[in-house]
Amino acid sequence: MIDAGNVPLVFGGSTHFLSEEQIAALSVQASAGDSASALRLYQFYTFSNLDSRKAFGWLEIAARNRNTVAQYNLEKILQQENKYAEALYWAHTADSNGESGASRLAEELERQIKEANSNGR
């Protein structure tokens, strides 16, 4: 089993680089519910091997498995996409799981939803 928080860096490589073997092992672990592995794959596909579809998929898996960093990041992405109801769900979820700052984000989202509703969006 690979420790997702302790995947060794490749000399001269990116901070978020993963080998094919590491990707395979982390994928199995993440698919089995390991949120740290899913978050590590999200980082890989966001910062090293740019693939937004895969990155978002792994971020969702990490968030569903109670990773508060993933929940917070997912909320921010959904907010930017104007998916306020989904974003609010993840802000409240991150807040209830102890993510600092998530409460403030939920309040901000609630204001945005009210503004959108009053503007007829």
**C-alpha of 37 from chain center:** 11
Over the chain, what is the mean pLDDT? 88
Q: Are 74 and 63 within 8 A, CB to CB? A: yes
Task: Flag whether pLDDT at 14 surpasses 70.
Answer: no
pLDDT tens for residues 47-58? 989 999 999 999
Task: Flag whether pLDDT at 10 surpasses 50.
Answer: no
What phi, psi does 38 have (nearest 5°)? -65, -40
- Which whole number is the average pLDDT over 1-19? 61
- Residue 81 confidence class, pLDDT cut points 50, 70, 90: very high
- Per the model's pLDDT, the better-predicted residue between 10 and 66 turns out to be 66
The pLDDT score that the predictor gives to residue 3 is 66
Q: Are 72 and 100 within 8 A, CB to CB? A: no
Encoded amino acid at 56, one letter: F
| Residue-wise DSSP of 31-95 | HTT-HHHHHHHHHIIIIIS--HHHHHHHHHHHHHTT-HHHHHHHHHHHHHTT-HHHHHHHHHHHH
pLDDT tens for residues 99-109? 888 899 899 89
**C-alpha of 36 from chain center:** 10
Separation between Cα atoms, residue 10 and residue 36, nearest integer Å: 19
pTM (two decimals): 0.81
